Amino acid sequence: MTTASGPDSVIAVTTGTGVGGRLRSPEAETEMTGVLGFGGYVPDRVMTNADWAEVVDTTDEWITTRTGIKERRFAADDEATLDLAAHAAERAMQDAGIGPADIGEIIVATDTPEVYTPDTASFLQHRLGCGNVPAYDLGGSGCAGFVQGLDVARARIAFAPRNVLVVGVELISRLISWKERETCVLFGDGAGAVVLGPDAGHAELLDVVAGTDGSMTGILTLSTGGTRDPFTIETAKSGAHQHLEMNGREVFKQAVTRMSAAVLEVLDRVDRSVADVALVVPHQANKRIIDAVTRRLGVDDGVTFVNVDYFGNTGSASVPLGLWQAREQGRVANGDLVILTAFGAGFHWAAAAIQF
């Protein structure tokens, strides 16, 4: 189903205010980026550490002490990335009290798309029944993709007011090797979403910071399948297309340094301090990374949100999933300042400040 009225009127505004190279109209600019709705979804199937110990040479003790992960969710055989994304998006729209015709743009952050091309956002636009609005993926941005998406969305809203659906989704279990114990035990599947818009909602997105160090592309990469090293029958036989190369210790170090610094930077930009923060929702890669960031920031353990123990690392879904859960669990009240922070392959990092 494709509806025309709402989104088309948004496109009319967009065209008139400068997207496509024209100058911006000052009247169209807005200072406010509201967070109108939150959504999240994880599949039902639970994969415990004991389950993994039957597949690769590992133990619950090794995984728990090194990562804090006890279990993670894996998609059902008949689920794919779009299904996860659609569930989270529908919950976010419901929370915002809006329908698909009210969505003016869609951004999907994922490294595990529905198909190779076109992007998952195109499938999602159709599945949700949104109008023919701009929709695109932030692909390959690793686990930082969702927070980067918030940065893009708020700029688009400031440029021409519209509601932007931002989704972080991963179905990692289907695309990486189940034979490599160094990486396979770390990940889980899931999706999270928010609707941002120019109106006051449940909260206001105050600011976002983001950065990239491209000299670090080699510390976390799935390099087979692109133009540098195309997918062939040999790669399929060797399993190279599923081999996630990871320098675990370097990733660990970069993650702690970059996430902590990004939090301080975004706080500085909104004129607030660590003492003002009610909740930090960091990317959930590893409990030891989260603990190190907590210590570095000097906040109490209870201020940092953790779900890596039962969801594992859900990539670009982890921050919006955590944010949705924190709100569902009553961990966020009106007046609270919430900080999101993430890192990902690239090497990318980002942080956002949200005022409830």
List of long-range contacts for 15-24, beta carbons under 8 Å, 24+ apart:
17/159, 17/160, 18/159, 18/160, 19/159, 19/160, 24/159
Point out the catalytic residue in the list 202, 286, 313, 348.
313
Binding ligand ACO (rule: CB under 6 A), the pick from 345, 350, 351, 353 is 345
Set 49, 87, 130, 143: catalytic member: 143
- Residue 178 interacts with ligand ACO (CB under 6 A)? no
Q: Which of 283, 286, 307, 348 is catalytic?
A: 283
The residue among 149 and 161 lying less far from ligand ACO, judged by its C-beta, is 149
- Asked if 283 is an active-site residue, the reply is yes
Out of 80, 210, 251, 332, point to the residue binding ligand ACO (CB under 6 A): 251
The encoded tokens of residue 248 equal 């675990």
Contact window for ligand ACO (CB under 6 A) among 41-49, 106-114, 153-161, 339-347 = 339-347
Is the CB of residue 50 less than 8 Å from the CB of residue 154?
A: no
For the CB of residue 251, give the shortest distance to ligand ACO in the complex, in Å.
4
For residue 72, the one-letter residue type is: R
- Can you tell me the distance from the alpha carbon of 351 to that of 139, in angstroms, rounded to the nearest whole number? 18
The verdict on 147 binding ligand ACO (CB under 6 A) reads no
How buried is 227 (Cβ within 10 angstroms: 0-12 exposed, 13-18 middle, 19+ buried)?
A: exposed
Query: Would residue 298 be called left, alpha or beta, if left means φ above 0 and alpha means ψ between -120 and 50 degrees?
Result: left
CB 323 within 8 A of CB 287: no
Kindly state whether residue 54 participates in binding ligand ACO, applying the rule CB under 6 A.
Answer: no
Residue 185 binds ligand ACO (CB under 6 A): yes
Residues that bind ligand ACO (CB under 6 A): 58, 62-63, 66-67, 142-143, 181-182, 185-186, 220, 246, 248-249, 251-252, 285-286, 313, 343-345
Annotated catalytic sites, by residue? 143, 283, 313
